Structure 1
């Protein structure tokens, strides 16, 4: 036998996806590269690992046994790497974080310095909507979550990071009388919403209800990126977090439309359960955030404060 860890890793992923294409995408390889490595790996065995029926790839029973063995070998190699780093005085382990979808514009900046300091730590970050973020914390599946509204009925520690401001936005062709009542100024326009369970959707619904605005026509999309592209294309208006539209504002693809009562301001917070027993990796990240978060905000997010001041003068 002369197979490599690279081949074991590729075959393990093939056993999970049953697809050369998906395996290539997951491992950032080309399809021919995956096919060649699968062929070389198969040559090590006299019993087939896979079979092709029509255009569908199937894993044989023997193939699944080899995949299970490959998983154990790869896990042992990771363990060796962790132990090596630990003996060298370097922190190791896994950090699990769930992030409300707009938080993807925030969280990487609070992770990059920490991960550079501790290269032995593996990061697992799930970006989803608020409801699923809260659920992952309820089930104790993550160490930390990044949210803009605090979940109810959970006993939590909370670290306040920075404001999350939501504005009414449209493309550059939209013209609205900001002095007219909300119902009058928006009645001719479609409003684009996030899906139920999104914190942005909740904030938008509360704002419209407070102003007794009944939506006559709306679109509902399942990500901030989809909403942003729809607004740029002229499909309607939306209330969106400022943090996610910096480039589009600078490139003049979007504009903030001044409306009384906006921006809506919430707070980005890192939360974790009070009963959570933090791993050494999680404890180190907590200490890093408490020590460094103010400097990170000044260095990476000063533009938000400056932009908010400039925009306030338009009202």
Structure 2
């Protein structure tokens, strides 16, 4: 037998996702690279590890046994690395963070230097919808969550990072929107919505309800990126967070359209259960963010102030 830890890692991810494509995405590898590692591991055995039925990938019984063994081997390998770092007096372990989808434009900048300073820390960051983020906090599955709207009915502590402002945005000013318009105008505009349950959708609907505006929805899309592309194509207007529009605004591909009552404002914040017992890694990260968050905002989000 001549298999490697990397082959076991790839196979374990395949066993968890039952997909070459998804395994490649989660491992930040190409699909051919994952396929090659699977083939190289399979070459070590006479019994098939996987089988394809109706274009779907399945593990064989033998494959499931190898996946369980691979998980144990990898856990022991990680433990060896951790013990080595511990003997050197270095920080080690996992930092688990859950992030609402729009937060992908924010959270990496508050992680990069910390991760660079602590090579023994493994980052597990899940970028997902708001409800799953809230559930991960409620179920104590993560160390921190990044949100822009404080979830109700959860007893959480928070650390504010930076403002989150939402503006009416479109592919360019129309004749009727060159000067600040009244919210009534939204009755006439084709509006593009985020999916139900998203924080952006919640803020937009609250604004419309506060001004007693009933509109006909033009589109409902499931991500800020999809909404942005629809705006660029000229399909309508949307109330969107500024944070994901840097290039489009600076290049004048999209423009903020002035309207009374806008922007709407929330705060990007880290939250965690108030009674949570932090691991040494989580404690170190929280201390780091408290000390460096202002400098991070200034360094990476200085452009933001042009539109505030």
Q: Same fold (TM over 0.5)?
A: yes
- What SS does structure 1 have at the residue aligned with 2:189? coil
SS at match of 1:278: coil
Residue 29 to residue 102, structure 1, CA distance change in 2 (3 Å): closer
Deviation string, structure 1 residues 51-106 (Cα, Å, up to 9, x no partner): 44464443221121111111110111111111111111110011111112221111
Deviation at 1:120, TM superposition (A): 0.8
Query: Which residue pairs with 1:162 in the alignment?
Result: 162
Tell me how far apart the structure 2 counterparts of residues 303 and 95 of structure 1 sit (CA, whole Å): 29
1:118 to partner: Cα distance: 0.9
Match of 1:48 in 2: 48
Structure 2 residue aligned with 1:128: 128
Matched, 1:198 2:193: no
Name the CA distance, whole Å, in 2 between partners of 1:32 and 1:148: 38
Contact 2:95 2:122 in 1 (8 A): yes
Summarize deviations over 1:181-227 as a string: whole Å, max 9, x none.
322x3333211111121111111111111111111233211111111
Structure-2 change in CA distance of 1:195 and 1:39 (3 Å): closer
Residue 311 of structure 1 corresponds to which residue in structure 2? none
Secondary structure, counterpart of 2:200 in structure 1 = helix
SS at match of 2:301: helix
Q: Distance in 1 between matches of 2:135 and 2:175?
A: 41
Native 8 Å contact 2:193 2:217 kept in 1? no
1:249 and 2:246 matched: no
**Which residue does 2:59 correspond to in 1?**
59
Q: In the alignment, what sits opposite 1:312? A: none
3-state SS, counterpart of residue 176 of structure 1: helix
Deviation at 1:276, TM superposition (A): 0.4
How far residue 179 of structure 1 moved from its aligned partner, in angstroms, is 4.9
Report the more deviating stretch, 116-125 or 49-58: 49-58
Determine the C-alpha separation between the residues in 2 that align with 1:92 and 1:206.
Answer: 43
Q: Would you say the 8 A contact 2:170–2:234 is kept in 1?
A: yes
Q: Does the CA-based 8 Å contact 2:186-2:215 persist in structure 1? A: no
Aligned residue for 2:271?
271
Q: Distance in 1 between matches of 2:68 and 2:32?
A: 24
When Rg is computed on C-alpha atoms for both structures, the one with the higher figure is 1
Contact kept? 2:7, 2:41, Cα under 8 Å: yes
TM-score (norm 1): 0.90
Q: Identify the residue that residue 260 of structure 1 maps to in structure 2.
A: 260
- CA distance in 1 between counterparts of 2:243 and 2:207 reads 19
Residue segments in structure 1 that go unaligned for 5+ positions in a row? 309-315
Partner residue in 1 for 2:102: 102
In the alignment, the residues of structure 2 paired with residue 227 and residue 124 of structure 1 have an alpha-carbon distance, to the nearest angstrom, of 27
Corresponding residue of 2:182: 181
- The answer on 1:216 being equivalent to 2:216 is yes
Q: Aligned residue pairs: how many?
A: 307
Contact 2:173–2:255 (Cα < 8 Å) also in 1: no
- SS of the equivalent of 2:196 reads coil
Instruction: Structure 2 unaligned segments of length 5 or more: list them.
Output: none
Question: Compared with structure 1, are the counterparts of its residues 132 and 42 closer, same or farther at alpha carbon in structure 2 (3 Å cutoff)?
Answer: closer
